[in-house]
Amino acid sequence: REVRGPASPSWIFGNMLQLTLSQHYGEYEFEWLKKYGSVYRIKGFFGEDRLMVSDTAALQYMLNREHFVLGPSFGNAARLTYNNRNAFITERDHKRVRTPLNAGFTAAAVRSYIPIFERVAQILTEKFDDITSHSVGDISPLFGQATLAAVTEAVLGLTLNDLGDEYISTNLKLITMTANQSATQLLVDALLGWIPVPIRDLASRIPVEPFKFIHRAKYMSNEIGMKVIQNSKNAKNRGLEVNSGLYGDLVGNTGPTFSERDIADQTSLLLLAGQDTTANTLTFGFIELARNVEFQEQLRAEIHASLGSGDAKAYDSMPLLNAFIKEALRMYPAVAVSDRLAAEDAVLPLSEPIITSQGTQITEIPILKGQVVYLGTAQYQRSESRWGPDANEFNPSRWLKEGGALNGEGVSSYANLLTFFGGSRICLGWRFALLEMQIFICELVGKFHFSLPDEDHLNARCRYAFTLQPVLPDGKKAAFLQIKRVV
């Protein structure tokens, strides 16, 4: 309670509406960061105290210890959206479920997906060509379909057509719905967090429209996963070679610790976790390119000078391309803030001491079991002490500086960014997302010129709804750009 923090405007909502429903993401959060430093207290629902953390030592501690489990908000959303027993929501079983999946996301496995990414990039080019005939177009759903197509082929060996129209339209609804959280939804979510999980699961069976189609989407992905597993088994039994992606490989390696049912249980997670996260990062990146035409031209020149080899190493050795991707991941981390719950008492170490409301300097914070603590990814990545006085500006050249972009110690193995988190629960698909983005960007920036639309109502802003989303002033999820062919 002695950790300082902003005043709460409401007993019911605490600071939650400011944190999660501000018009522009970070409107309040980044100001709180400046005022109170890298650990501060905010109010959750009904007067509860919560801790917002972007201190390096505290983040490392939270990511690498078992003391912290998924918090009420992310936990609820994940339990509702994904099949039971998937790698993300399972706590005690995490290692058992996650280890076999790692095989599909190693550096070598991801390199083998290059032809998939290139094929999908070609389809994106055709869709962007359609936009050029109207000059202005919404790029957000195009990236959403492309990232879904890439993961579907890599994981299941299927195309978007194979998923079927019903799955595609339900997936689109699900993604659009997530972008439009309301205060009522947040309150229902908070109330659900207070009741035991089995009763909560029952409550989610109430036949209201959002619950109905979330369950339908889960059911369909499970069916799709089961069908791929069955087809792959049949083919193997008949000595036939079929492409069933990662699932085909996993089917050959099932056993007492990882069954076919376990594989199928990962389908909704694998299809969804990498879709909007990657698509929205790309969307925000392209908006920044449209804002900064000079950098866009330099990047295009680098792409034209470097490409053609189809080799992952070639993509990794393009300085502007990789600086641009890192900066998009720094400024627009899909999971900008995520709640965790202390599963046992803990003591959070701090790399930068803080001053309490009593004027005392402290270097660690005791946490009681049951305390909600936020991993403040976006705040860690906007801290001026770490990234310099221009931390709030999109500036890819910070990554080209000698000595690197970061002052001091970082939190993760990729560019010291927290965007993919770290520790045993580091994003399963981080290498997948990086190579996919490298290939899509090279294809599109190499061929098209991007600029912002003249009409204000078509310019997207960044809003938070579990992940960072591009939305128009009317609240609709979309991101329009003017697009012209250059080659």
Binding-site member from 16, 174, 269, 346 for ligand HEM (CB under 6 A): 269
Q: Which amino acid is at 239?
A: G
Task: Determine the Cα angle at 395 with ends 461 and 288, to 5°.
Answer: 35
Query: Which one of 173-181, 277-285, 362-370, 475-483 is the stretch in contact with ligand HEM (CB under 6 A)?
Result: 277-285
Query: Which one of 172-180, 227-235, 250-258, 273-281 is the stretch in contact with ligand HEM (CB under 6 A)?
Result: 273-281
303 three-state secondary structure: helix
Residue nearest to ligand HEM (CB): 429
For 174-219, what is the HEC assignment? Answer: HHHHHCCCCHHHHHHHHHHHCCCHHHHHHHCCCCCHHHHHHHHHHH
Binding-site member from 15, 170, 221, 419 for ligand HEM (CB under 6 A): 419
Asked whether position 87 contacts ligand HEM by CB under 6 A, the answer is yes
Asked whether position 54 contacts ligand HEM by CB under 6 A, the answer is no
CA distance 288 to 270: 28
Please answer whether residues 263 and 229 qualify as being in contact, where contact means their C-beta atoms are separated by less than 8 angstroms. yes
Bridge partners, 465 (sequence order) = 467
DSSP 428: T
Asked whether position 274 contacts ligand HEM by CB under 6 A, the answer is yes
Cβ proximity to ligand HEM, 422 vs 446, nearer residue: 422
Cβ proximity to ligand HEM, 304 vs 425, nearer residue: 425
Residue 115, both tokens = 């032809």
Binding-site member from 151, 228, 250, 471 for ligand HEM (CB under 6 A): 151
Query: Which one of 253-261, 290-298, 306-314, 413-421 is the stretch in contact with ligand HEM (CB under 6 A)?
Result: 413-421
Asked whether position 74 contacts ligand HEM by CB under 6 A, the answer is yes
Measured in degrees and rounded to the nearest 5, phi and psi for residue 52 equal -105, 125
442 marked among binding-site residues: no
352 three-state secondary structure: strand
DSSP 203: H
How many of the other CB atoms lie within 10 Å of CB of 356?
14
Cβ proximity to ligand HEM, 109 vs 226, nearer residue: 109
Cβ proximity to ligand HEM, 423 vs 453, nearer residue: 423
The pairing of beta strand 49-53 with beta strand 372-375: parallel
The pairing of beta strand 136-138 with beta strand 346-355: unpaired
Residue 336, both tokens = 């900008």
Q: How far is the CB of 371 from ligand HEM (least distance, A)?
A: 17
Asked whether position 448 contacts ligand HEM by CB under 6 A, the answer is no
Which residues belong to the annotated binding site for heme? 427
Binding site for ligand HEM (CB under 6 A): 74, 87-88, 98, 151, 269-270, 273-274, 277-278, 281, 334-335, 338, 419-421, 425, 427-429, 432-433
